[in-house]
Each structure stands twice: as C-alpha cells, then as structure tokens.
Structure 1
C-alpha cells in the first residue's frame, strides 16, 4: 500500500496542471471575440466601385483616361489635388448597380469649378479634425440622382457635393461634434453645407451654408447653426445647385487659400494610382 501511494504521489507531480484561461485567448467553448476591423467603406462601396472596378471601367473605354488626366490636371492647377485620389472623385451613387448606372462618371467640364471650394473646405476644415477621408459619392447625373433617391435640387448633380467616410477610427458622436464645431466657425465663408447620414457617412458641399441630419440620440447634429444672409445669387431658374456663374461668384467671394505644404509638395502622380 505504501508503495502504491508513493507511485500515485509521484504521478500527480508529473501530471500537467489544468490549462488556465489567458486574457485574449479562446478557452473551452467560448472563442475569443476580436473587435471588428475599421472599415466604414463596407457599407457604401461594393465591388465594381473600388479600385479594381475603376481600372476595369477605364480599360473598357480607354478614351476615358485622357479625360481623367484633364480633370486631375485641373484639380492640380486649382491647388486641390491629392486631398483624395482623383479616381475616387469620379464615384457616382452608392446605388449605381441597382440603378443600372456606371460606377464612375467624368462630369461635364463646365461643372468642375463647383468642386474646388468644396475640396478647399475639406482640406482645411475637415481633414485636420477627423483625419483622412474617402469620397463615396460625388457627381450624379439627373437620371441616376432620381433613381438613387436624391433630392431634385441635389448639388451632387452639379458636382458641388461630396459624401465621405473617415478613414481614421473615430466614434460617430466625436466625428459629428468636431465637424459641427468647425462648420459653425468656418462654414459661412465657404457657403459650406454639412449633413450627416447613418453610420459614418457625411456630406460636404460649397453651395449654401446649412446643416442637416441627427445624432445617435435623435437630436439635431448641429443644433446651434444659424443661417447668415446669403452672399451669392441663387441658382438660375431651372438650374440645379451652383451653375458656372454662381461657382465663379462663390470662388471670388471666398479668399483664395494656399494648399497646405504637405499637399502642395506632393509629386503629381498617375491619377490611376492610389495615394
């Protein structure tokens, strides 16, 4: 009996200890739950409107590349290139597939001026507060805008408006708070419109100073914004948003802002290439 007890005692010393749960490691039947990766684009950009889709869109009609280069050169001359890759500024509506439309479109050249002040505002009064952003919807022709549920007077039709998502992880409440505070300070001189949709999507334009959208508690996102006296004429009768003449008025009424050094010193890259 004594010999048997000695053997059992020795075996207990040699046996491995039961595994102890380790923080962050799955144990038993309870797998470790990792936080979901930050990907606000997933809600708005599907295959076909991503970079491979853009390259395929170009390859299907090579003449488009020349037009993209002209647009890219226009942005460069206006000091607003590389705020976002040029190809992303050609995205149409998130509902392009449902509407049987093109995922990208090169707007008419007479509309290009309308995006300049919007990009200036984004460069100086959006990116510094929420980090880099990516456009998910810019120009929409009339038929696509109607199918996608856009307002008849939507300034997406005149390329003044851009819908974005932030690329740096940030809470929706913090994003709204930062953008609203800066919009109240600087929005009037840019005639900047600021709107918030569900999740992380927000809208910026340079047509008229205003805000819309609600926070996660159902309250107005920017409750203290007041509308100042208009500084430009309304769009011509029958027009949508800023026309070429009103765009010129907007730009002349707003101080010309030099690009930030970090933007202006970037080399002129192939507009097909991502930043």
Structure 2
C-alpha cells in the first residue's frame, strides 16, 4: 500500500505543469516588486521620419561621391569660422520634415553662397540658446526654393538663405517654459544678432539671424515677454537697443560680406548680405 501511494504522488507531480510546481516566496510587505517603465523623452520623434535619421543620412552620404565631397568642404568651412561641432553636421543638413510628401531629399548641402549666413546663427545658438535651455537638436535647416514652397514656408523664408534652424529641446521642459526662456534670451542678445524667434507645434522652435522679430507666441506667455523694440521706436519709448560689445568677436555686430575669403582671421562673423530680402513680422516664417 505505501508503494502505491508513493507511485500516485509521483504521477501527480509529473502531470502538474512545471510553472505550478515552483513556489515563489511572498514579497516583502511594502516593497515594490514591479515598477512601470518610464516614458522615453523623444521630442524629435514628432518630426523626424525614417530616412531623415542618422542611418538615412549614411545612406544619402554614400549614394554619390558628390555628397561626400560637398560635406567635406562644408565641414572645413564650419571649422574655419569656429562653429564646427555645435551640432553634428548631418543634423545641419536636414531639409524639411515634409520632404517625403514633397518628393524632396532628406538632406542637402546648401549652395556655398549661403554658407556665411549659418555662421551667425550657429554662434547665437551656441553662446545663448544652448546655455539657457540645454542641448537641442536641429530638425530642419536649409530648404531649396521648391521644397520650401511645398513645405508651406513663407516666400522669403530664412530657411531658403540658410540663416534659419528649427530645433527641439532634448531636455524635458514645457512649451511655456521654453517660450519664456527663449524670449528672455532674445530680448538680451537678439538685437545684436538680428534674431528672429518663432514657435510651432509642441516644442519646435525657430531661430534665424536675418531680422529681429518674434512670432507664434502663446498669448499667456507673450504678455510676459519683453516687447520688441524697433530702431524707429527708440526715441519714443526711451529704451535704446543694447550696444554691441567691441571686445568679443562672437558677440560683436558682424560686418556684411558676401563670402569670407581671409583665412587669417577666422573669428570674423558674417551677416546675410544687405540685399537679402527681409521678412514681414506679420507672416510666420518656417
């Protein structure tokens, strides 16, 4: 009889699923066993599709030797004027986020005639935007005229002249806090750099160095931002624009030049040519 009982117990153990045989100890009272997976902060994901990411850039770069040659020249130019490394070069070559819909290229090296315009913008972003809001990532920079028109850009968008960069912050923040911080920075240094500051959906914002202006501010924040003071209004409001420093080349009002040629003076900053069309304040720029 004992042998039959032992045999029955063994059969029961074999028939029972393995998962049911394992007895786990009870967790300690008050101790969390499973924590929820935190949400990943990825503001770039709202704008960048497959093909305009880093693997997409590598494919574009390898597609033709002309791309590699142009990128090498562009990198050398940025290094010459001490703005190399502000962003990875491939991010500075992103075109419009709607490139697929428009049948455009995800990346493009701008014409060399437009390169001087990005130097001033990169200096401003490096010296004032990033210290204020933390790291940022470009999601759109140069747009050729056809792509700019298809993407809904203004007729004289600063993106066409490679003065503008649309970015998103990589450090968690709110839209209101981002606006308040950036418009405060623009109020201090914007007149010296002729900074245009605009805001779009979510946390995307625009910076260029074509004309001092601001647009698309949320009403609740706009009332808290320092007003834009135009040179023609100085006499009436009694708030003269801040004079440019003559001691630091990166903050001085840049001289106008169509294309820098003096390699012995790489610290000179070049502004857009005086013939570059201005952009009306009433029309949002993309």
Q: TM-score with structure 1 length normalisation?
A: 0.72
1:237-252 residue pairs with structure 2 within 5 A?
251-252=254-255
Following TM superposition, by how much is the alpha carbon of 1:85 offset from its aligned partner in structure 2, in angstroms? 0.7
1:221-260 residue pairs with structure 2 within 5 A?
223-229=225-231, 251-252=254-255
Higher Rg: 2
- Pick the aligned partner of 1:171 from 174, 178, 181: 174
Change (3 A) 1:214 1:156: same
1:106-255 residue pairs with structure 2 within 5 A?
106-215=109-218, 219-220=221-222, 223-229=225-231, 251-252=254-255
Change (3 A) 1:17 1:33: closer
Query: 1:42 — aligned with what?
Result: 45
- Pick the aligned partner of 1:69 from 60, 72, 95: 72
* Cα distance between partner residues in 2 of 1:69 and 1:186: 32
* Cα distance between partner residues in 1 of 2:217 and 2:154: 18
* Cα distance between partner residues in 2 of 1:257 and 1:181: 30
Change (3 A) 1:54 1:19: same
SS in structure 2 of the partner of residue 41 of structure 1: helix
Following TM superposition, by how much is the alpha carbon of 1:18 offset from its aligned partner in structure 2, in angstroms? 8.5
* Cα distance between partner residues in 1 of 2:107 and 2:161: 15
Q: TM-score with structure 2 length normalisation?
A: 0.69
Q: Which runs of 5+ in 2 are unaligned?
A: 1-23, 233-252, 257-264, 269-286
Change (3 A) 1:139 1:20: same
Change (3 A) 1:203 1:16: closer
1:63-102 residue pairs with structure 2 within 5 A?
63-102=66-105
What is the root-mean-square deviation of aligned Cα atoms in Å?
Answer: 2.5
Report if the CA contact (8 A) 1:129-1:179 is conserved.
Answer: yes
Following TM superposition, by how much is the alpha carbon of 1:251 offset from its aligned partner in structure 2, in angstroms? 2.5
SS in structure 1 of the partner of residue 231 of structure 2: coil
* Cα distance between partner residues in 1 of 2:38 and 2:160: 38
Following TM superposition, by how much is the alpha carbon of 1:168 offset from its aligned partner in structure 2, in angstroms? 2.0
* Cα distance between partner residues in 2 of 1:209 and 1:45: 28
Following TM superposition, by how much is the alpha carbon of 1:197 offset from its aligned partner in structure 2, in angstroms? 1.1
Per-residue CA distance 1:222-248 (angstroms, 9 max, x = gap) = 642213228xxxxxxxxxxxxxxxxxx
Following TM superposition, by how much is the alpha carbon of 1:86 offset from its aligned partner in structure 2, in angstroms? 1.0
* Cα distance between partner residues in 2 of 1:155 and 1:226: 19
SS in structure 1 of the partner of residue 191 of structure 2: helix
* Cα distance between partner residues in 2 of 1:227 and 1:108: 33
* Cα distance between partner residues in 1 of 2:45 and 2:223: 23
Query: 1:268 — aligned with what?
Result: none
**Aligned residue pairs, count:** 217
* Cα distance between partner residues in 2 of 1:143 and 1:116: 24
Following TM superposition, by how much is the alpha carbon of 1:169 offset from its aligned partner in structure 2, in angstroms? 2.2
Runs of 4+ residues deviating >3 angstroms: 15-23, 32-35, 256-259
Per-residue CA distance 1:59-107 (angstroms, 9 max, x = gap) = 1112211110111111111111101011111000000011110000111
